Structure 1
Amino acid sequence: MASIGEALGIALDLHQAGRVDEARTLYGRILDADPQQADAHHLLGVLLGQCGDSDGAGASIARAVALNPARSDFHLNLANLRRASAAIDDAGRHYAHALALRPDNPEAAARLGAIRAGQGVEEPALALADSVLDNAQAVSVEALTALGIAIGRFDGREETAAALLDRSAAREPASAAVQAQLGLLRQRQGRLDAAAVHYRAALRQRAEFPAVLNALGALALDAGRLDEATACFTRQAASDPADPEPYRWLGRLHRSRGRSGEAASVLAQAEALAPGDRDTGVALAVTLLTLKRPDEAEAVLAALAGAGPDDPLVLYNLGQARAARKDPDAALAAFRLAVALAPDVGDLLHALGNGLTGIGCARQGARWLERALPLGGERVDWHRSAMLAVLYVPGVDPERRFALHRRLEMVTAAPAPLARPSVTPDPERRLRVGYLTSDLRAFQPIARNTLPLFENRDRAGFEVTVYAHVLEPDGTTQRFRALSDRWRDIAQLDDATVASLIRDDGIDVLVALGIRFDHNRPQVCRYRPAPVQVGFHDAATSGLSEIGYIVTDRVMTPRHGTERFTERPLRLPSFYLAAIPADAPPVGPPPMLRDGVTRFGCFNNPAKISDETLDLWARVMGAVPDSVLVLNYLDAYRSRRCVGRIRDRLAAGGIDPERLRIGPTEIEHPAAHLARYAGIDIALDPFPFCGSTTTFEALAMGVPVVTLPQDTMVSRWSASMLRALGLDELVAGSGDAYVAIAAALAGDPARLSALRAGLRGRLAASPLCDGRRRARQMERLYRAVWRRWCRQQG
């Protein structure tokens, strides 16, 4: 009969030969004969673990440890079982026992080091890692990798982790998991190129490895390797179709490439996979707004707001969608709630300020816009909005207004200077003039005012280059392009690149058109890319010391006025220039002749209609009983709050709100818009931001305009036009005079009829429609400032 020792040897042979059932039976007989046989308990536990019976394995090996606690291998195998069942603390204790019993056991050291690192016990973990590195060949690849991953979590210990993972990779070079971990480690170290090498190595071993595809795609996107990023995220989506993450990344990628349609498609897939995910929904909605699909954007955001009504980001974007959908009141409600929830987020304050300004509450809007400025850092668009809004507010102290305009330069970093423009200071040579603008499109006032200059320019004396940030070019854009010597599309270029382009083109005189409006680019001028820089068609000073001149006229900017400029004013005899629209309807008689009712009107942006303007209009209507006031501007009067403010202010001035007439709330064709002047007897100009295009249109349709200039250039455009037409009597010097002029016109139908009948002809014959004369005047200005610069060169 075999001894216990001999039987144990036979059982172990059967075990190692894979004859599991026979080995298990024999281990059981041995334990029946000797229940205290620790080796039999241990080996049976190992066999049970190999067969998937982790509970039975744990019980058997624990019994072995209890019978013989001095055996290192018993503790090591029990620790492995405990680790596999996530009993980490228990596993750590047994690894520690195994290592104490056998200090040269690198496997136990590696496992214990990984646990200690995971528990944040730094020094013991690092000491164990050092001992493992000295005996790495005796450690399993799995243990080396686990220790490397855990040690890598310690800041500044990545090299130790990398050494462990490198040993693993040397032992198993085809391990995708090890290569992935090395990539992650190098990425944390900031060694992005090395990380990408490891990620690619992992993908060579496992082509569809979602986590690695995601990591490599993100690296490629940030590095500008857009095709590689697209391939990675597309493969990730194919390998794990239920994961929304690659679709989110593809959305970001397509947006960065200007492919909004593709971005919307993949973001919609991500949103379908993770409905209600806030970041995905917001990204999708913003993309839909870019595609001018505000109804769909609002639907996405409204669902998010329903689930999370206190999320300022969702509310902000919901407001943007409602504004794009032409519902300014609902937009304002969303912006107000967002600001109440997050009063220190500049985007929210800025949006609320713009929204209030747009419906005519400019005083409130300007305050919110100025509150946003300290939170926006160098956000040039925020500064431009504040610079514009303050011009709508009556009674602003000139020094405060000037300080606000100077703020843009004061708080934005001065760009690195460009190399000096290589231009020849020859005062009489052909000049290179550059125009920097976003506004050369149909129905844009600046386009209307500058087209005659292009059509009548002196090609022999002046070469013209346009630097165009035109996002949606149209037929008018193409007309300007055809009239230019050179055209540069700059919408996709940053300011420094545009400035370098202007310098390299050898521009002598750079003309910045309307830099506070639309998508214009004032910061380009800060690089001083041209020797002479001129502001043109702006509403006030740019506040930038790099712009040397501003074009105005003698009425808009009288000498010794209170308005301050960083630029030197260049005064034309008159400023405004346009052509009477070819499709303008014929001028008819004053409508008051039909029924005796005087119809005052204003077709200006309601942002210009200040409370003070409404107070004065109430006085005019009080002086002309039974008169009515007709307001019209694109679709702005959809806002019930805007209309309500006007009605309430008129009522406070004693005027029945029923005397207010609001025009259509849809945008009309320009010819239909002009035809509406046939229903107006007298146009009332707002202040302190008066009409410009609207004043010209009224005059072209035979409607006289009564204006009240203030102390700013932007309040004196209409006065400039009227004086150029010899209609000084329509320019009021005070509120009382304004009321008297309007009432006198209303009370003299014969005078009004005669004035109306002759206005279009007078306008057509005036300097306001003489493109050739104005082109020569502007070219003389360009030549004069160029000669001045040449003299300064010594």
Structure 2
Amino acid sequence: MTPNVTQLQPVSQATDQLLQQAIAHHQSGRLQEAGVLYQTILQHQPSHPEANHNLGVIAIQAQQPAAGLPYFMAALDADPTCGQYWLNYIDALFQAGQQEDARAVLALARQQGLQGEEVDALAAHLNGNAPVAVQRDLAPWDGEESHPVSLAGPLPGNTPGHQEMDVIVALFGEGRYAEVATLAQRLTVHYPLHEFGWKILGVALKLLGRGQDALEPMRKAAMLLPTDVESHYNLGVTLQELGRMEEAEASYLRVLQIDPVYADAYLNLGVTLRTLGRLDEAEERLRQALQIRPDYAEAHGNLGTMLQERGCLDEAEASFRKALQLTPDHAVLHDNLGVTLYRLGRLEEAEGSFRQALRINPDNARTHNDLGVTLQELGRLDEADAHFQMALLINPDDARTHDNRGNLLCYLGRQNEAAASYRRALEITPDDAGMHANLGRCFRNLRHWKDAESHFRKSLEINPDDLETHNNLGLTLQDLGLLDKAEACFRDILQIKPNSVGVIGNLGLVLQSLGRLDEAEACFRQALQIKPEQASLYSNLLYFLLLSATMDVKSVFSEHARFGEQFESALSLDWPEHTHTRDPERCLQIGLVSPDFNNHAVATFIEPVLEHLSSYPQLSLHAYYNSVINDKVTHRLRGHFAHWYPVTGLSDAELAEKIRADGIDILIDLTGHTARNRLLTFARKPAPVQASWMGYPGTTGLKSMDYFLADRFFLPPGQFDGQFTERIVYLPAGAPFLPSKDAPPVNGLPALSNGYLTFGSFSRPNKLSPAVISLWAELLRALPDSRMLLGGMPEEGNYDALIKWFEMEGIGCERLIFHARCGMENYLNLHQQVDYCLDTFPYNGGTTTLHALWMGVPTLTLAGDTAAGRSGASILGHAGLESFIARDAADFLNKGLSWAGNLAALSDIRSGLRERFTKSAMGQPVLVATGVERALRMMWQRWCAGLPAESFEVPLQAVNSTVSEVDS
């Protein structure tokens, strides 16, 4: 809208002439000349209403409406009855972008009687209901007052008395803000156009904690005092605290227009811009505050916070330290410095900062949480948990602390407690993607696959771009046996991040389980090509080669040896000089390293040995547990060790250093190249003697690994030396087996009542392949009435690939019986439906073969030419079942048909297998444990004598003699 120039009322002759000239220039468009004359009038009469008003009009015409606001306010102060002043002031506010203020002033003016068509038109425009504003032409000056709009009645008095204001000021000084608010409210009723009442009312309400109520009085104060810094600053602070950041920004900018060196306004503007995500501008404003006040501690602190968020950690540290020089007892600054030091990896210094913050403010939940996180990183886990719990005692509804404590409990293997912490965090913040992902990982550790899947999917609904959670979802789908979905999940990730070696490796494992071995091998090799320095990728390839038989024996060994050359050669240059006391008969410190001290097949073999070894006075057992799973089995195993160390948080180098510090004499690997191995710790040779046992059916490829523990059935002496970098130690049995106490009794041979033979397999799906199915199918084709039971299948999986492989061999799905993974009791009961099992190759079954033997079910195995293909031969050899060990595929078929035709003999074997087992070395844990103890002593004696490692066999006679002494 184009404002009118106000016509003047008669005043002094000189002023009258100047005003006439000014208006004439103004109406002729000579704005500069008019402005000079208006300013001349104001030099003599600063409150002259017409001159002030018309200078405001010039500002609007010059498209600088904000510059005109002080002049319009001065005009209204001088003559609040002039409707035109109100209209032009409101229009200037609108054009200056202060729409809320414009509406507020219009409402105030209407309360005082402002009315007319132009008022209604302006109101419609302000409310967005009119396309254009009211237009006005300039009228020539004729010496008469011109009020195109009117006020319906007289306004109340303009100014409250000094006594009224003094009383309120005194009460304010005494902190009696409620009384101040009451009296100030009355002033705003009686003197609505006077700034004092509105200004002090707004401040009082804010100090009473009523920020929302304070907002309107503060707006009116700022409107009535357009050049008052305090009013606009107070309004900005209130808007900022209410979260209305864009409006707060406008208020602070108005402050800086009035006072360009107002440091507090630069500070708050910087903080506001930071909240709005405009970090470059925020930094600039904070630095401007510091240019004005270099010793402004709060500005240094806020600049540090913003620099920390931008990742400029060194600069952030400098800012926090400068702030602390100025205010050394500021707890928040110490905490923020601690966070910066933590992110810089300077954990001990971070701890010091957090403790200093807590010295100043011991009840700060955030600082307790931050200190807990730092202590966890430092490995001081009990202290960390104490601070997490203290934080939650202070603030039980802090979701982040519940989440962090969940991470700690998960790390400690206390998965059920961790799940409870994550659940509590999600009760408080149900839409936090990271917390859902953490709970999903916890459920995966607990093997609650469906719950894990649910939370991973919920996390991805909230944050669909989190590739790590996509990967964890893929792993969970793989756990569930949903291999096609798992493959799709991993391939989706690789579309976005094609060089993610972990995902490529995971895809390889899925393809391997799907029987697409060429594609799987290509994945493992691709991952290695991208990141050849990552040892775990090489281990994945080596384990795959044992399973897939895509290479000959020599090539498989060469690949293992290359692993040692690549990863051990450089480390061997720094092997320590072991200074252990060379006493061949002293008590030995024995370390065992494994991620499988839980409900895992390895525990089935190691537990009965540990039960006996733990009682030997000349051995002290140390467990280095590389997993976060902490189940009932973990609890039992822990009781057999003199020392128990969770080591998932230690690097290979740190673990090696710890093992050296613990004075371990003989270090035993129970993992080989399987998941979560610590072979790069062994490659650093932290102990004088090192051995690999039971976790992996093959060589580690490391020269630092001195021995491999086996038995003569598993690795017939002289036949496998060329496949190991280690020397082979022959025990009475490679490992004992502890049958389940809940095993059902052995039943009669099912074929005798069924009239047909039922074969069985309980091997993991990734051991099944088209080649395995092809050999089994020959037997099924030869016995057309026979059936095949396949247990241990994924809970949610489909079996299309397996069915297809059988169908390609002429075996219909009606002859196949699938059973999903289940609990131990149901799993063992399934054996009552099976006459004998068929083994996988080139990687035989192990634990499944032993369970089957205990249930009276022998396994027909094809002995291989690698250690991975000898587990079946070893187990059956110990049980005296050599007639179930085939030399080749033809012998496998012949032996299978032979037993199918001799059900009476098969029935006799079934009924006597438990007795056979308990009489074998595998069924006598004390015999194996004693053999292990003798082997360890013989290894140690060789080292004490300065002799190199050499293959040897523990004399059975010596073992039996020792066992007899123990029994007596």
TM over 0.5: yes
Q: Counterpart of 1:67?
A: none
Q: Does 1:745 align with 2:899?
A: yes
Inter-CA distance 284–434: structure 2 relative to 1 (3 Å threshold):
closer
Q: How does 1:432-581 map to 2 (within 5 A)?
A: 433-437=590-594, 444=601, 447-448=604-605, 451=608, 455=612, 463=619, 465-467=621-623, 469=625, 472=630, 478=636, 487-491=642-646, 494=650, 503=660, 507-516=664-673, 521-537=678-694, 538-554=696-712, 556-557=714-715, 559=718, 561=720, 564-571=723-730, 575=734, 577-578=736-737
Counterpart residue identity of residue 489, structure 1: W
Shift of 1:550: 0.7
What is residue 846 of structure 2 aligned with on the other side? 692
- Name the structure, 1 or 2, with higher relative contact order (CA <8 Å, separation 6+): 1
- CA shift, 1:619, in A, is 1.9
Q: Which has the larger radius of gyration?
A: 2
**CA separation of 1:15 and 1:218: change in aligned 2, threshold 3 A:** farther
Asked if the contact 1:536–1:550 (Cα under 8 Å) also holds between the matched residues in 2, the reply is yes
Aligned to 1:648, which of 791, 795, 804?
804
The alpha carbon displacement at 1:611 in A equals: 1.6
Tell me, in whole angstroms, the C-alpha distance in 2 between the residues paired with 1:220 and 1:757.
Answer: 59
- Relative distance call for 1:620 and 1:90 in structure 2 (3 A) is same
Evaluate the alpha carbon distance shift between residue 315 and residue 561 of structure 1 in structure 2; reply closer, same or farther with a 3 A threshold: same
Q: Which of 619, 622, 638 is matched with 2:778 structurally?
A: 619
Please show how residues 679-718 of structure 1 align to structure 2 within 5 Å: 679-699=833-853, 703-718=857-872
Counterpart-to-counterpart distance in 1, 2:918 and 2:460: 55
Q: Match of 1:545, SS?
A: coil
Determine whether 1:661 maps to 2:817: yes
User: CA offsets, 1:237-277, max 9 Å, x none?
Assistant: 46xx6x75555455556656666556545544443444333
* 1:733 partnered with 2:887: yes
Quote the residue 1:631 is aligned against.
790
* Alpha-carbon contact 2:289-2:299 (below 8 Å) kept: no
Equivalent residue for 2:547?
A: 392
CA contact (8 A) 2:589 2:665 kept: yes
Contact conserved, 1:186 with 1:195, CA < 8 A, in 2? yes
1:86 alignment counterpart: 249
Q: In the superposition, relative to structure 1, how do residues 15 and 577 fare at CA in structure 2: closer, same or farther (>3 Å)?
A: same
- The answer to whether the Cα contact below 8 Å between 1:145 and 1:164 also exists between their aligned partners in 2 is no
The answer to whether structure 1 residue 279 and structure 2 residue 434 are counterparts is yes
SS of residue in 2 equivalent to 1:566? coil
**What secondary structure is seen at the aligned counterpart in 2 of 1:539?**
coil
Percentage of identical aligned residues: 24
Question: In the superposition, relative to structure 1, how do residues 111 and 160 fare at CA in structure 2: closer, same or farther (>3 Å)?
Answer: farther
Higher mean Cα deviation, 600-609 or 406-415? 406-415
Answer whether contact 2:331 2:357 (CA < 8 A) is retained.
yes
CA–CA distance in structure 2, aligned partners of residues 457 and 47 of structure 1: 85
CA contact 1:169–1:179 (8 Å) conserved in 2 = no
> Which residue identity is paired with 2:898?
A
Counterpart amino acid of 1:717?
S
Mark the CA change 1:339 to 1:192 in structure 2 (over 3 Å): closer, same or farther: same
Change (3 A) 1:303 1:185: closer
Worse-superposed segment, 597-606 or 684-693: 597-606
Deviation per residue, 1:21-55 (Å, 9 max, x gap) = 99xxxxxxxxxxxxxxxxxxxx9879975666666
Contact 1:406/1:544, CA 8 A, preserved across alignment: no
Deviation of 1:744 after TM superposition, in Å, equals 3.4
CA contact (8 A) 2:324 2:333 kept: no
Which residues in structure 2 correspond to 1:113-132 (within 5 Å)? 120=281, 129=290, 132=293
CA distance in 1, matches of 2:434, 2:772: 44
Give secondary structure in 2 for the equivalent of 1:234.
helix
Provide closer, same or farther for how the CA distance between residues 58 and 219 of structure 1 changes in structure 2, counting only shifts above 3 A: same
Query: Equivalents in 1 of 2:591, 2:284: separation in Å?
Result: 66
Alignment of 1:207-606 (within 5 A): 213-214=365-366, 217-219=369-371, 221-223=373-375, 226=384, 229-230=387-388, 233-234=391-392, 237=395, 244-245=399-400, 247-249=402-404, 251-252=406-407, 263-265=418-420, 267-289=422-444, 296-306=451-461, 312-319=467-474, 342-346=497-501, 348-349=503-504, 351-354=506-509, 368=523, 387-398=542-553, 399=555, 402-403=558-559, 407=563, 410=566, 414=571, 420-427=577-584, 433-437=590-594, 444=601, 447-448=604-605, 451=608, 455=612, 463=619, 465-467=621-623, 469=625, 472=630, 478=636, 487-491=642-646, 494=650, 503=660, 507-516=664-673, 521-537=678-694, 538-554=696-712, 556-557=714-715, 559=718, 561=720, 564-571=723-730, 575=734, 577-578=736-737, 590-594=749-753, 596-606=755-765
Classify 1:425/1:145 alpha carbon distance in 2 versus 1 (closer, same or farther; 3 Å). closer
CA positional deviation for 1:318: 4.3
Alpha carbons 2:479, 2:794 under 8 Å: kept? no
Alignment TM-score, normalising by the size of structure 1: 0.71
Please state whether the residue corresponding to 1:534 is helix, strand or coil. Answer: strand
- Runs (5+) with no aligned partner, structure 2: 1-43, 48-76, 78-157, 170-192, 203-216, 238-247, 274-279, 377-382, 949-968
For residue 490 of structure 1, give the secondary structure of its aligned residue in structure 2: strand
- Cα distance in 2 for residues equivalent to 1:197 and 1:16: 53
> Structure 2: which amino acid aligns with 1:271?
L
Find the aligned partners of 1:430 and 1:164 in 2 and give their Cα distance: 57
1:50 & 1:400 partners in 2: Cα distance? 86
TM-score, scaled to structure 2: 0.60
Note closer, same or farther for the CA distance 1:45–1:624 as it changes in structure 2 (3 Å cut). Answer: same
- Counterparts of 2:434 and 2:514, CA distance in 1: 31
The offset of 1:621, in angstroms, is 2.0
Displacement after TM superposition at 1:690 (Å)? 0.9
Tell me the distance in 1 between the aligned counterparts of 2:538 and 2:303.
49
Q: Whole-Å Cα distance in 2 between the matches of residues 719 and 759 of structure 1?
A: 16
The answer as to whether partners of 2:373 and 2:404 remain within 8 angstroms in 1 is no
Answer whether contact 2:721 2:727 (CA < 8 A) is retained. Answer: no
CA 1:701–1:408 in structure 2 vs 1: closer, same or farther (change >3 Å)?
same
Amino acid at match of 2:644: D
Aligned partner letter, 1:683:
C
1:609 to 1:214, Cα distance in 2 relative to 1, 3 A: same
- How far does residue 687 in structure 1 lie from its aligned partner after superposition? 0.2
Q: 1:731 to 1:128 in 2, by over 3 A?
A: closer
* Shift in CA distance, 90/151, structure 1 to aligned 2, threshold 3 Å: farther
Contact 1:237 1:247 in 2 (8 A): no
Which stretch of structure 1 is more off in the superposition, 213-222 or 529-538?
A: 213-222
CA apart distance, 1:230: 3.2
Matches within 5 A, 1:116-155: 120=281, 129=290, 132-133=293-294, 145-146=298-299, 149=302
Distance 1:157 1:467 in 2: 44
Q: Secondary structure at the match of 1:632?
A: strand
Shift of 1:391: 2.2
Contact 2:365 2:395 in 1 (8 A): no
**Partner in structure 2 of residue 35 of structure 1:** none
Question: Relative to structure 1, is the Cα distance of residues 152 and 551 closer, same or farther in structure 2, using a 3 angstrom cutoff?
Answer: closer
CA contact (8 A) 2:339 2:370 kept: no
261-270 or 388-397, which deviates more: 261-270
CA distance in 2, matches of 1:709, 1:673: 26
Say whether the 8 Å CA contact 1:651–1:657 is kept in structure 2: yes
Q: Judging changes above 3 Å, is the alpha-carbon distance between structure 1 residues 459 and 193 closer, same or farther for their aligned structure 2 residues?
A: closer
